[in-house]
Structure 1
Amino acid sequence: MVDRLTALDASFLTLEGRHTPMHVGQVLIFERPPGFDPANVVERIGARLAANPRLRQRVRSVPGRVANPVWVDDAAFDLDYHVRRSALPAPGSPAQLGEFVARVNAKLLDREHPLWEAYVVEGVADNHFAVVTKTHQAMIPELTSLDIAGLILDEESGAAGDGRWAPRPEPGSSGLLVEAIADAVRSPAGVVDTVRGGLGELRANGRRALGVGATLARAVRSSSDSPLAAEPGSARRFAMVETDLAVYREVRARLARVNADVNVNDIALAAVAGALRGWLGSRGEFVRATTSLRAVVPVTMATSAGLGGSVQPVFVDLPIGENAPRVRLLQIAHAMHSQVGDAALAADRLAELGGFSAPTLHSLGARVGSALGRRLFDLAVTNVPGPQRQLHCAAAPLIATYPVTPLAPGHALAIGLTSYRGRVFYGLNADRDALPDLEVLAAVIPDALAELLETAAA
């Protein structure tokens, strides 16, 4: 029996446009210990591919598109094609790494090959090296236990496994048609469960999360003059921001003393709101007291089975026009709690799930943005708590991890956050032409967080 893509997963191949790649990524930065050769990363990935066969499979269309595509083993799989080596020119600054990430993530993955890539980047400042990953969202459901980062990382410097593999024969066109007919006989209702059905499922999920009727009507923005509304072009900018998780916890603790209930995600959103306010000011744009930008914030809902519930979109109007940082935070916290309540999966449970991988959960969040109309929100902000323990690639300790989330059609900015080992890392992915001043927005995020700390107990 063939391994067929679900309608939902196939829809991400259909939704993908020339300038809107549907892959998610990650920037992993490692300290380079004496004698460590980053080329070992390539060997490490190759030796562990057997743990996830999907990484050696490509998408094959069914003749006539009478059924969803299937996964087939890539008999010509070439590890060196998927794991590439590069180097930054001196001094290997964060800005240079960001340019590299922007360049490789703007390019579509080649559907003639398995839908993932990794780049081992040497020459990063302070004796560091980086691994930059790209994984198509159509693959993500199959990677919930182990993705590319999972192939690289260990809690301790462990040895790689056995990389032996033999591809299964690829079915011919006639065989694919026979299987499609057999699937239709086994499940007649599945005949209409095509890619079009997957697109419908995406939109239906968004509508169910919003509710129907009046709720959906309220969600639609009446104007499209947002500074973040733009059709993405072919090029990107990427910026990285590192902050201290202890600051978020201190803001929460100070507000708890005055019976104000906020969490780390609320504080991060308030920092983004404050940064957007400063960024608009730097552009000379007039910010009214009522100015807001709507963020869609994917939230993983708790169920009795753990993560097995769903990722639901929460819409929050970030109060850019509010001058007081503390009031801004409290308004965001109220908006989040009024929609989510206690149903969100706790950060510690998310971070400690077996097989947790930040790109997997960021992808689930990115799916929410892809499912919704461009008039429903101005930017997507995904926040995935990561492990607080030290991770390694062999003997090289992981010191930072920045998510790269895709731009939805009609949107110029997407922000991803991942916490790891006492730090919170922001990855800002933007259209190159629409946000030539992305570095200004990135630079004011720490300032906005400092303002929250200063005013939390005021």
Structure 2
Amino acid sequence: MVDRLTSLDASFLYLEDPDTPMHVAGFLVLESPRGGLDHEDLVELVSSRLPLVPRFRQKVVEVPGHLANPAWVDDPDFDVTYHVRRSALPRPGTEEQLLDLVARLTARPLDHHRPLWEMYLVEGLADDRIAVVTKTHPALVDGLTAIDIGQVILDDAPVPADRPAPADDWRPRRPPGPVALVWEAVEEAVQRPTAVLDTVRTATGDLRATAGRLLGTAGSVLTALARTTVRPAPTSPLNGPIGRQRRVAVARADLEQLKGVRRVLGGTVNDVLLATVTGALREWLLSRGEPVVGSTSVRALVPVSVRPDDTDLDDPTGGVVSSLLLDLPVGEPNPRVRVARIGYAMRGAAQGGQSVGAGTLVALSGFAPPTLHALGARAASGLSRRLFNLVVTNVPGPQQPLYASGARMLEVFPVVPLARGQGLAIGLTSYDGTVYFGLNADRDSVSDVDVLADLIEQEVADLVETTTQGPPAPQPPPARRAPTRRTRGGAAGGD
């Protein structure tokens, strides 16, 4: 029997189009080690780690007539050098040049006739640095505990401790032909007739119905849809038709400074980060001449880690991912009040039934965290303009240096995909004492995304300044306590 894609993963492929490639991207900035790190070194490193991620040597084949979901098969022509590529920046190798390259690579869809991932070694950065850009399709790594190739190339020491290398006796199995695929599909249809209906719904783009049946969450899906239909997302310049080209911008924040703000204002580091994004969006809207009044808000889809009370808080894979539809109070001019309002809204949403569980969220928006970094968001079939204005993902990363073949990773930036009709997505991750913001935007409708990135850093500076002086922040009413679950703040990994 073939290893078949779930209806959900198949939906990701069917709903992808040239304007909205679905892969999750990111880039690492590395310090060039002594002796350098060239393309051959990276190819050798990736090749040695491929046994840890066997799916990365498989491709997707469709069943004729869509009689069943597509299947995973070994790629008999797998060539690691096709997937691990080489690029370079012209002198002087500035960050602006790197971001322009990342934007162009991000905008380019993956080849669905090959394994659904790519990696680029980028040479020529200033200050003797190199970069690695990764692109991975969510269908390839489909679970909370799954890892992708960008993670397995990293070690916690310049010279990894001696450990047995994974055996690599991989030999591609002969892929089934069209007749065999059809025959297996017919056998499955006889054994499980409902599979045919699921396949038809998936192929025709009925993602909500398919994922609801698959995950047993149809009731939750309908409830969430009813709630958001009654109260649609606010009108925003962030939403509208988008094209195929992207712009990428970045921002940085010191993690200890953010923790200091949290200690003064209360809440979590995640609350502080969301307030930072909110304040930056406020100033960005004003810079564009958009009307901003006290009641103005922007709705964000915000994934968070939800853990049972007995889960180890230091374990990034413990618990599950849930997401909140959160109205960011961009109309609030006081940064202290913004933090308090967001913290109150986060607790109320998580404990008052407004959170969207991981399974339901997939059915609504295509969110499928593909790695331990849990970065990814994609709205399905035009739903995003009705449900939310943008996605803001914030996940914890390691707080000690990591290395790739001896090259120390200096920075890491996520690049979250855009949904249809969604002009901006913001990804955050923390690493070695710094929070890194990656902003992915439609090139035309959000052409000034670099301004927004600058405003994020300015908002962090303003929050740090305002918490070193002045009266304490106003405290909102206490939220109801949840009996068994609680949310964990993102980048710092602490409440």
TM-score, normalized by the shorter chain, greater than 0.5:
yes
- Report the CA distance between 1:212 and its aligned residue: 4.8
Deviates more, 1:372-381 or 1:108-117: 372-381
Deviates more, 1:243-252 or 1:203-212: 203-212
In structure 2, the CA distance between the partners of 1:214 and 1:117, relative to structure 1 (3 Å rule), is: closer
Separation in 1, partners of 2:352, 2:290: 38
- DSSP-derived class of the 2:139 partner: coil
- DSSP-derived class of the 2:175 partner: coil
Q: Is 1:151 aligned with 2:171?
A: no
- Report the CA distance between 1:369 and its aligned residue: 7.3
Counterparts in 2 of 1:178-189, with a 5 A limit? 178-189=183-194
- Report the CA distance between 1:359 and its aligned residue: 5.4
Q: 2:242 aligns with which of 218, 226, 232?
A: 232
Please tell me whether the aligned partners of residues 232 and 407 of structure 1 are also in contact (alpha carbons under 8 angstroms).
no
In structure 2, the CA distance between the partners of 1:185 and 1:369, relative to structure 1 (3 Å rule), is: closer
For 2:232, the equivalent position in structure 1 comes to: 220
For 2:252, the equivalent position in structure 1 comes to: 242
Point out where structure 2 has 5 or more consecutive residues left out of the alignment.
Answer: 356-367, 472-495
Taking only aligned residues, the RMSD between alpha carbons, in angstroms, comes to 2.6
- DSSP-derived class of the 1:194 partner: helix
Q: 1:340 aligns with which of 344, 350, 367?
A: 350
Q: Is 1:301 aligned with 2:306?
A: yes
- DSSP-derived class of the 1:390 partner: coil
Please tell me whether the aligned partners of residues 369 and 380 of structure 1 are also in contact (alpha carbons under 8 angstroms).
no
For 2:220, the equivalent position in structure 1 comes to: 208
- DSSP-derived class of the 1:179 partner: helix
Q: 2:338 aligns with which of 323, 328, 331?
A: 328
Counterparts in 2 of 1:104-143, with a 5 A limit? 104-141=105-142
Please tell me whether the aligned partners of residues 28 and 402 of structure 1 are also in contact (alpha carbons under 8 angstroms).
yes
For 1:89, the equivalent position in structure 2 comes to: 90
In structure 2, the CA distance between the partners of 1:109 and 1:184, relative to structure 1 (3 Å rule), is: same
Counterparts in 2 of 1:48-447, with a 5 A limit? 48-141=49-142, 144-156=145-157, 157-158=159-160, 163-194=168-199, 196-197=201-202, 199-201=207-209, 204=212, 208=220, 211-212=223-224, 215-221=227-233, 224=235, 226-255=236-265, 261-303=266-308, 307=317, 310-341=320-351, 360=371, 365-367=376-378, 372-447=383-458
- Report the CA distance between 1:410 and its aligned residue: 0.7
In structure 2, the CA distance between the partners of 1:67 and 1:416, relative to structure 1 (3 Å rule), is: same
Tell me the percent identity. Answer: 49
For 1:33, the equivalent position in structure 2 comes to: 33
- Report the CA distance between 1:209 and its aligned residue: 6.2
Point out where structure 1 has 5 or more consecutive residues left out of the alignment.
Answer: 256-260, 345-356
In structure 2, the CA distance between the partners of 1:207 and 1:329, relative to structure 1 (3 Å rule), is: farther
Separation in 1, partners of 2:19, 2:226: 33
Q: Deviations over 1:11-52 (max 9, x none)?
A: 000110110001001111111122122321121001211211
Q: Deviations over 1:162-212 (max 9, x none)?
A: 555210111111111121122223333323221625712577469726835
- DSSP-derived class of the 1:374 partner: helix
Structure 2: which amino acid aligns with 1:315?
L
In structure 2, the CA distance between the partners of 1:387 and 1:319, relative to structure 1 (3 Å rule), is: same
Alignment coverage as a number of residue pairs? 439
- Report the CA distance between 1:144 and its aligned residue: 3.5
For 2:490, the equivalent position in structure 1 comes to: none
- Report the CA distance between 1:439 and its aligned residue: 0.8
Please tell me whether the aligned partners of residues 45 and 153 of structure 2 are also in contact (alpha carbons under 8 angstroms).
yes
Please tell me whether the aligned partners of residues 302 and 323 of structure 2 are also in contact (alpha carbons under 8 angstroms).
yes
Structure 2: which amino acid aligns with 1:282?
S
Deviates more, 1:446-455 or 1:179-188: 179-188
- Report the CA distance between 1:243 and its aligned residue: 1.2
Please tell me whether the aligned partners of residues 144 and 374 of structure 2 are also in contact (alpha carbons under 8 angstroms).
no
Please tell me whether the aligned partners of residues 229 and 410 of structure 1 are also in contact (alpha carbons under 8 angstroms).
yes
- Report the CA distance between 1:151 and its aligned residue: 2.6
Separation in 1, partners of 2:246, 2:101: 10
- DSSP-derived class of the 2:459 partner: helix
- Report the CA distance between 1:313 and its aligned residue: 2.6
Q: Could you tell me the TM-score, scaled by structure 2's length?
A: 0.83
Please tell me whether the aligned partners of residues 54 and 142 of structure 1 are also in contact (alpha carbons under 8 angstroms).
no
